Structure 1
């Protein structure tokens, strides 16, 4: 493959995620204050940076399968490294060479999400973030831009199984993006991997690589917030002994939902954090990414005991997860952000 994909999981804690009550928002922000730097795009995860890319241009394309519209927002940020600087002649040599090329274009591809076009018809859109300097190089059109778009179409197909028609697309003249751009989660290890692959790194790139290597060596500090591995907790739940006493808050699943869970549903991407990381856990914070969901009215949330269940029947989402903590279902606070399709749930623990 000629591209490197930096996952954009959009599991974010940033300023534009507003909650229902101000005191709730202030409480949540205070929990993460020790993790945040002065930069507005800093992440809550030590080895990840959350960035909000700038708009570039928008491509209107069509799916090969059903000819439905599919929009691609090409956006840019300085936090994604550029590809190695090569001339157009060098690119031609790469394209004419039958052997696999080491030339790569780093990019971050978001999960396709549902939006509406100017006729208010539902369609899908994805954001492709590239380096800002590289965007300036290809913005006005050139062989490199054609090469980039070929890689973009290929990347969407490889990553999400959506084949884009390459014979019917256009760049919109009066729109830089469709739907609002969402944040990208850029992992330091991915950036480090890209920079280490360069044959002719610049001095600036060498400096960035040195900083990342230094951060990696000093990453032994524990934070006040610890990310939970959901798979580990599910396994521990399944392996519990029958003689273990159940909490009085244990959740009893609805029979209908159990049946649905065995059907053809999609498990949404999510992350769980416990606070504080050491000592008695006071609460869990969950981030659940529902890219196809457009309204909180579609979401059914059942939380209690040691179980978290989220269902969006209309969109085919179902999550049934266990944690190793007892949740106080009377104190749960939740908010769905329609801009980035993120459901955030704060769950105090008993």
Structure 2
């Protein structure tokens, strides 16, 4: 994520439609050499991981009625989520019902592409391998509340990533840890930004503050084209001290040396490769523009 020192026009009003179009066009302009460097750097941060089998759940494709199996696998490469209680999880689920809610909680996972397999009757089926941290697997095995929540976000994740709608009526297979053969997945093994709070003492420290921020939808009504975050960083001196990572539905930011730490879950899927950011060295405001995936 490139962060420049270019100054932004100050003002309290939201950007006009013309400003948004211009901003969007700028985001599409990519330096080929810079893009190549980013691609090589991304590859260097990843390696193939063969997950460890954990448990298997059965559901079906709503449209085709085909059997679908979810191989829940583990790898220590995947961070563990912040530890919360069942009551806190239930309160979190209630808050998610508000489509504009900004939820500061996420379950790190990797959902692989579907692979064709045969069930025990030798009928064709689809299988998705979902990789989570081993500690979180133990958590969902010991709690129907956490297991139900986990399957809800897996089903949502498969739909958002592959446009496949799975039946929310699922069962756990008692005598099978996985169906078919587990597939290797590319996983991020190094990062300058922690995946979840508290997982890396060398990155996260109690001295880091959570900065004030606002997130606006553009347009304000209906499904937005953009999310625009303004993060107040009064102690930041230059843009090069800011590390920013934007995922499909998540924004993670740190400011060195341990000045600020922000990790927020967003209620929309983002177009990651078109996100942009600018730091105003006078106002000390980091503005992040995030195009939103549009409904198909």
How high is the TM-score relative to the length of structure 2?
Answer: 0.50
Residue-by-residue CA offset, 1:72-111 (whole Å, 9 max, x unaligned): 1011111100111111121122112233312100100111
| Largest Rg, 1 or 2 | 1
* Count of residues in Structure 1 that have an aligned counterpart in Structure 2: 161
The residue number in structure 1 matching 2:193 is 192
- Report what 1:121 is aligned to: 123
Asked if 2 retains the 8 angstrom alpha-carbon contact of 1:55 and 1:73, the reply is: yes
Tell me if structure 1 keeps the 8 A contact 2:58–2:69.
Answer: yes
- Does the C-alpha gap of structure 1 residues 164 and 74 become closer, same or farther in structure 2, counting only changes over 3 Å? same
Instruction: Provide the C-alpha distance between the structure 2 equivalents of 1:57 and 1:105, rounded to a whole number of angstroms.
Output: 17
- Contact kept, 8 Å, 1:81 with 1:191, in 2: the verdict is no
1:113 CA drift (Å): 1.1
2:175 is the alignment partner of 1:174: yes
Q: Which has the higher contact order (CA 8 A, sep 6+)?
A: 2
Distance 2:70 2:204 in 1: 30
Q: Which residue of 1 aligns with 2:78?
A: 80
Residues 188, 158 of structure 1: alpha-carbon distance in 2 compared, 3 angstrom cutoff? same
- 2:268 corresponding residue in structure 1: none
Partner in structure 2 of residue 147 of structure 1: 149
The Cα shift of 1:188 comes to 4.0
Report if aligned partners of 1:56, 1:76 keep a CA contact under 8 Å in 2.
yes
Q: Do 2:115 and 2:126's aligned partners in 1 also have CA atoms closer than 8 Å?
A: yes
Give the CA RMSD over aligned residues. Answer: 2.4
CA contact (8 A) 1:72 1:126 kept: yes
Residues 1:191 and 1:78: Cα distance change in structure 2 (over 3 Å):
farther
Aligned equivalents of 1:191, 1:179: Cα separation in 2: 35
Which residue of structure 2 lines up, in the alignment, with residue 288 of structure 1?
none
How does 1:274-293 map onto structure 2 within 5 Å? none
Name the counterpart of 2:113.
111
Match of 1:53 in 2: 51
Going from structure 1 to structure 2, the CA distance change for 1:157 and 1:114 (only over 3 Å counts) comes to: same
Per-residue CA shift, 1:180-233, capped at 9, x if unaligned? Answer: 1112211246783523xx3xx15xx223779xxxxxx9xxxxxxxxxxxxxxxx
Describe the shift of the 1:55–1:191 C-alpha distance in structure 2 as closer, same or farther (beyond 3 A): farther
- Alpha-carbon distance in structure 2 between the residues aligned to 1:59 and 1:133: 18
3-state DSSP class of the match of 1:192? coil
Task: Note if contact 2:194-2:204 (Cα within 8 Å) is conserved in structure 1.
Answer: no
1:66 aligns with 2:64: yes
**How much does 1:46 deviate?**
2.6
Answer yes or no: is the 8 Å Cα contact 1:80–1:191 preserved in 2: no
- The answer for the alignment partner of 2:222 in structure 1 is none
Q: Return the alpha-carbon distance in structure 1 between the equivalents of residues 47 and 204 of structure 2.
A: 15
Counterpart-to-counterpart distance in 2, 1:186 and 1:126: 16
Looking at structure 2, the residues matched to 188 and 57 of structure 1 have their Cα atoms a distance apart, in angstroms, of: 24
Question: Structure 2: how far apart are the matches of 1:191 and 1:59?
Answer: 34
Contact 1:49–1:186 (CA under 8 A) maintained in structure 2: yes
The aligned residue for residue 308 of structure 1 is: none
Q: 1:133 aligns with which of 132, 135, 138?
A: 135
Question: 2:202 corresponds to which residue?
Answer: 207
SS in 2 for 1:93: helix
Q: What's the secondary structure of 1:67's corresponding residue? A: coil
- What TM-score do you get using the length of structure 1 for normalisation? 0.43
Mark the CA change 1:160 to 1:90 in structure 2 (over 3 Å): closer, same or farther. Answer: same
Give the 3-state SS of the residue equivalent to 1:156 in structure 2: helix
Pairing 1:188-337 to 2, within 5 Å after superposition: 188=189, 192=193, 194-195=195-196, 198=197, 201-202=198-199, 205-207=200-202
- CA spacing shift, 1:62–1:207, aligned 2, 3 Å: same
Segments of 5+ residues of structure 2 without an aligned counterpart are 1-42, 206-239, 241-296
